[in-house]
Structure 1
Amino acid sequence: MSTEKLDRLVVLGSKGGPAVRPDGPWPSSSLLEIGGRNIVVDCGLGVTRGLVDAGMSLKALDLIFITHLHSDHLLELGPLIHTAWTAGLATPVNVFGPPGTGHYWRRFCQAMEFDIEIRIVDEGRPDIRDLLSVEEFGEGLVLEERGLTVTALRVDHPPVIDCFALRFEHGGRSVVFSADTAFFPPLADFAKGADVLVHEAMLEEGVERLVARTGNGARLKEHLFASHSLAEEAGHIARDAGVKRLVLNHLIPADDPAIGEADWVAAARKSWAGDLTIARDGLVVGLSGQKAASGEETA
């Protein structure tokens, strides 16, 4: 029996927005294991715990990509790297993010300067600031290395200008993350033929209850409809792109007891008839084309 590690996508955090509630899902983060690389996409609150629960050693951190600088995609970037460092990380980690990512990392290191300096001296650790490199990207080719190609597309997420969908390709397989975006037809060409499209999704019927719980009423509601995609719109993108599987993620709302998986499926089925997965924390989607382990979905 082959012991080769299967390529897979693990949804670590499946909710849209930074708020967390008792027994609810965590904000946005994913682990993509493809071509022998461990790739973290977004670092919302809970990403560190999610990676550990997914069975990945934090010392194996490799590549991290940030789609945009909203807190539910960035908040735990520094703590993830710092925690990996205290767990024994001694190999370089490369972070790719939009303009401003380097500023975040420098400020995090300044805030943690006392702890970093004392652990270097007292525990003999390498300097965390020398282990990490940050590369800020725009639209187009982001990375081409060891058979892995990563490209970016600027999407429509006002008022954030630097928000990017990401396409990962290796060995003939491809996974696309929409990032946060309003309905954006050019995304279909960007995702053309992908094995998996991970697309954000919102249900209109849950928005009123969400803004009532969260506050900011009309302003928040206006932002949600201007900056995010309905599940049916995500289905349109998947259909036009001809992807093999659509994964609805970054769910808004993700923790409304009146909304279940069947509601998400019904909304997406208005426009998408293909393979469909509704994200949840810990969900695994196999990418290898081989038989997946129990509880996995394959694409």
Structure 2
Amino acid sequence: MARVTLLGTKGGPAIYPTENLRLPASSLLEMGAQAVVVDCGLGVTRGIVNAGHSLKSLSTIVITHLHSDHYLELGPLLHTAWTAGLQTPVAIWGPKGIDTYWQAFLTSMAFDINLRIEDEGRVDLASLVTIHELAEGEIMLGDLSMRSILNCHPPIEESYALRFSDGSKSIVLSGDTAPFQAFNAFADGADVLVHEAMMSEGVERLAARVGNGARLKEHLFASHTDASDVGRLAKDCQVQVLALNHLVPVDDTLITDETWTEAVRSAGYDGDLHIGQDGLVIDF
């Protein structure tokens, strides 16, 4: 059994009232005997529970890069899992600096953590968590292989795309990235590609709505991938299933699922296509 659940599909950290509210980036990958949480944007804890996955069984978390919408809820997720009965080790893989975040979170929650250890007889939360520095290359998570390559997400230099394989199935998660040459070979032949997507026409309107619009627009065009380019890439890599994720923007009423679909199809991709929705489950 292989399955990916898109827990949060919104690009960026801000949340505004919308009819179809999406929360920031996080995914749950289940392959073989492994369950891996990729990114921990706001809402990840509720998303995992809504997906029917026990917080007590958390074992592996991967953070692709240190933008807040990808790791803001890492500490609260682990703390909540701990209060729900987590007693087994959790490995966190992330870029340099994720250990600083974790130690600062433990410090900020020291009163509560120490109180619960003494008053409720819990194991020390810090003793359950091991931080590993993510780098380019391949590692084994049990019987699941995880390959990592640096993608293109300026100004952040350490941002990763991931490819998971159990020997028979493979899935690629792009992370936040602009198009870059090495990605085609990295994603080639994957059963599923989960790729961030931007609608350029919406970026212009987004920039007009926010106070720092010119700088924001510059960042988005330099650091993300237009949906049509995602479609072209998926076609070239011959992936069987494509899911658009980390959608930018998501609060533009002129951009619908049909708009995203048309952009991808116009680039020639004719495989199975999913437009990211929080809670979307893809079996493969």
> Scaled by the length of structure 1, what TM-score is found?
0.92
Residue 208 of structure 2 corresponds to residue 212 of structure 1:
yes
AA aligned opposite 1:168: F
Residues 185, 237 of structure 1: 8 Å contact kept: no
Further displaced range: 270-279 or 178-187:
270-279
Q: Give the deviation of 1:240 after TM superposition.
A: 1.9
Structure-1 residue corresponding to 2:180: 184
CA distance in 1, matches of 2:38, 2:210: 26
* TM-aligned CA deviation for residue 215 of structure 1: 2.6
- Which residue pairs with 1:10 in the alignment? 5
Q: Distance in 1 between matches of 2:75 and 2:126?
A: 11
Divergent runs of 4+, >6 A: none
Question: In the alignment, residue 108 of structure 2 is paired with which amino acid?
Answer: A
Match in the other structure for 1:286: 283
Q: Gaps (5+ residues) in structure 2?
A: none
Using the alignment, how far apart are the partners of 2:125 and 2:209 within structure 1? 40
The equivalences for 1:149-160 within 5 A come to 149-160=145-156
Measured after TM superposition, the shift of residue 251 of structure 1 is 0.3
Paired residues, number: 281
User: Contact conserved, 2:206 with 2:213, CA < 8 A, in 1?
Assistant: no
Q: Is the 8 A contact 1:248 1:278 kept in 2?
A: yes
Letter in 2 for 1:59: K
Corresponding letter in the other structure for 2:7: L
Q: How does 1:27-176 map to 2 (within 5 A)?
A: 27-141=24-138, 143-176=139-172
1:8 alignment partner AA: R
User: Does residue 189 of structure 2 align to residue 193 of structure 1?
Assistant: yes
How far apart in 2 are the matches of 1:117 and 1:213?
45
* SS of equivalent to 1:243: coil
Residues 241 and 272 of structure 2 are in contact (CA less than 8 Å); yes or no, is this contact kept in structure 1?
Answer: yes
The Cα offsets for residues 153-196 of structure 1, whole Å up to 9 and x where unpaired, read as: 10110000000000011131111000000111311100111110
Aligned residue type for 1:171: G
Equivalent-residue separation in structure 2 for 1:160 and 1:218 (angstroms): 19
Q: Which amino acid aligns with 1:273?
A: D
SS at match of 2:266: coil
Kindly state the Cα deviation for residue 250 of structure 1 after the two structures are TM-superposed.
0.4
> Distance in 1 between the 2:74 and 2:208 partners?
30
Q: Does the 8 A contact of 1:140 with 1:151 survive in 2?
A: yes
Cα distance in 2 for partners of 1:190, 1:169 equals: 12
What whole-Å deviation, never above 9, does each CA across 1:70-113 have from its counterpart, x for those lacking one? 00101000000000001110000111001111111111111111
Kindly state the Cα deviation for residue 243 of structure 1 after the two structures are TM-superposed: 1.0
Q: What does residue 257 of structure 2 align with?
A: 261
* Distance (Å, rounded) in 1 between the aligned partners of 2:11 and 2:211: 16
* Structure 1 residues 17-38: Cα deviation after superposition (integer angstroms, max 9, x where no partner): 0011224200000000111211
- What residue is the counterpart of 1:293 in the other structure? none
CA distance in 2 between partners of 1:158 and 1:48 (Å): 28
Cα distance change of structure 1 residues 214 and 54 upon mapping to structure 2, 3 Å threshold: farther
Extract unaligned runs of 5+ from structure 1.
Answer: 1-5, 288-299
Cα distance in 1 for partners of 2:184, 2:172 equals 10
Deviations 1:96-146 (A, max 9, x none): 0011111111111111111111111011000000000010111111x2143
Give, in whole Å, the separation in 2 of the partners of 1:245 and 1:79. Answer: 32
The residue identity in structure 2 corresponding to 1:181 is T
For 1:231, the equivalent position in structure 2 comes to 227
On the 8 A contact 2:198/2:224 being kept in 1, the answer is: yes
Identity over the aligned pairs, expressed in percent?
A: 56
Q: CA shift at 1:61, angstroms? A: 0.6
Change (3 A) 1:229 1:201: same
CA distance in 1 between partners of 2:205 and 2:141 (Å): 45
Q: TM-score, normalised by structure 2?
A: 0.96
Q: Pick from 19, 22, 32 the counterpart of residue 17 of structure 2.
A: 22
CA shift at 1:147, angstroms?
A: 1.8
Q: Deviations over 1:225-255 (max 9, x none)?
A: 0000000111122122111111111000112
CA distance in 2, matches of 1:215, 1:33: 40
